[in-house]
Amino acid sequence: MNNEQTQPPKFSWTTLSPGYECLSPMAGVTDSAFRQICKRQGAAVVFTEMASANMMLNAPSRNAAFLHYEEWERPIVCQVMGGDPKVMAEAARLIESMGFDGVDINMGCPEKKIVGNACGSSLLRDPELAARIVEAMVQAVKIPVSVKMRSSYYDNEIVQPHFAKRLEEAGAHALAIHPRSKEQAYRGSADWTITRQIVEAVHIPVGGSGDITDRAAIERLKQETGVQGIWVARGAMGNPWIFDRSRTERPPLEELITTVLEHARLMLHYKGLHGIIEMRKHLTWYFSGFPGAVALRDEAKRVSSYEELVGLIERYGLSPTSL
């Protein structure tokens, strides 16, 4: 990562190829290691994990590791959360100075701790504050400012598309909609008809999210909503091949294991042994859909070194050289 770069390459949501597919920001998931895995499979844009504006400004020593990226990951966008326009503007300036291609505002996280701090989806209850945050950030930086949001805060309440229009008026360069309410969290189904309404209501690029589990879902979302792009989140966990447009199914077992080991080596490289501990959750996502996967997942939850992981894979007869 070139954290001292002050002239990031020009990036625009309007110049991406129609139907682009990106790796959406996910806390605890979209670190550099996983972004690289997804980038190799075809993700057009990748996002950092959600960063706290206050944390970025008050504990800058943490930024270098948490927001590390490699140049070839570009275009890369940093997602930030916060509820104070001035603080968010200052965080945007810092993000720009670190060389990111864009900054994204989290207005969708439903987690109680985040909402309780007037961040994430809590902003859906205050359109004017949300707009002031967008305005402050747009005025502070030259890189694009996007917003990822939910359809509403409460169930059976629709704040879109007027909320989306207000963000467009405030200067947002792009929006992404996860058409579930904050109260719904991840339950039930995403209502793609809301996404269609947003697409028709604004004149800036709109990305679609929610219930994107495979290539077929990606194509349906494009056709049913007219979104300019797809923001894949949970559907990429354990399945980075979702970005490979040439595939309709998960890869052969040999390729899956090769990718798992590559991912683990990247985690070890960037985070040391703690990276292998973090890798456990990825292993539970990767190891599914083949004979012995259940038992393998159970043991994978306890690996604490790269050597242990390799040994575990070999014990199950899954080493790439033996398949």
In this predicted model, what pLDDT tens digit does every residue of 31-67 receive, in sequence order? Answer: 999 999 999 999 999 999 999 999 999 988 888 889 9
Q: What is the pLDDT of residues 190-231, one digit of tens each?
A: 899 999 999 999 999 999 999 999 999 999 999 999 999 999
Cα–Cα distance, 305 to 62 (Å, whole number): 24
Kindly state whether residues 132 and 269 are assigned to the same domain: no
Contact by Cβ (8 Å): 22, 44: yes
pTM above 0.85, yes or no: yes
Kindly state whether residues 290 and 231 are assigned to the same domain: no
User: 170, 200, 162, 199: which is closest to 208 by C-alpha?
Assistant: 199
Amino acid at site 61: S
Kindly state whether residues 30 and 103 are assigned to the same domain: yes
On whether residue 2 sits in a domain, the answer given is no
Kindly state whether residues 27 and 165 are assigned to the same domain: yes
Kindly state whether residues 232 and 293 are assigned to the same domain: no
**Is 109 a residue of the active site?**
yes
Domain boundary among 187, 213, 243: 243
Total number of domains constituting the chain = 2
Give me the domain span that covers residue 310.
Answer: 253-315
Domain boundary among 220, 243, 266: 243
Kindly state whether residues 228 and 84 are assigned to the same domain: yes
Q: Name residues of the chain where pLDDT drops below 50.
A: 2-6, 8
Contact by Cβ (8 Å): 33, 265: no
On whether residue 149 sits in a domain, the answer given is yes
User: Tell me, what's the pLDDT at 30?
Assistant: 98
Q: What is the CATH number of the domain that holds 145?
A: 3.20.20.70
User: Tell me, what's the pLDDT at 291?
Assistant: 87
Cα–Cα distance, 225 to 190 (Å, whole number): 12
Report residue 246 as tokens.
């040439």
Kindly state whether residues 92 and 223 are assigned to the same domain: yes
User: Tell me, what's the pLDDT at 159?
Assistant: 61
Kindly state whether residues 163 and 311 are assigned to the same domain: no
User: Tell me, what's the pLDDT at 113?
Assistant: 82
On whether residue 9 sits in a domain, the answer given is no
List residues bridging with 89 in a β-sheet: none
Kindly state whether residues 98 and 235 are assigned to the same domain: yes
Kindly state whether residues 20 and 165 are assigned to the same domain: yes
Cα–Cα distance, 322 to 318 (Å, whole number): 7
Contact by Cβ (8 Å): 297, 288: yes
Domain boundary among 222, 243, 264: 243
Report residue 96 as tokens.
């720009």
User: Which member of 22, 38, 109, 119 is catalytic?
Assistant: 109
Kindly state whether residues 51 and 192 are assigned to the same domain: yes
Helix (H, G, I), strand (E, B) or coil at 96: helix
Write phi, then psi, for 156 (nearest 5 degrees): 65, 20
Kindly state whether residues 72 and 221 are assigned to the same domain: yes
Of all residues in the chain, what percent are helix, strand and coil, respectively (each to 5)?
50, 15, 40
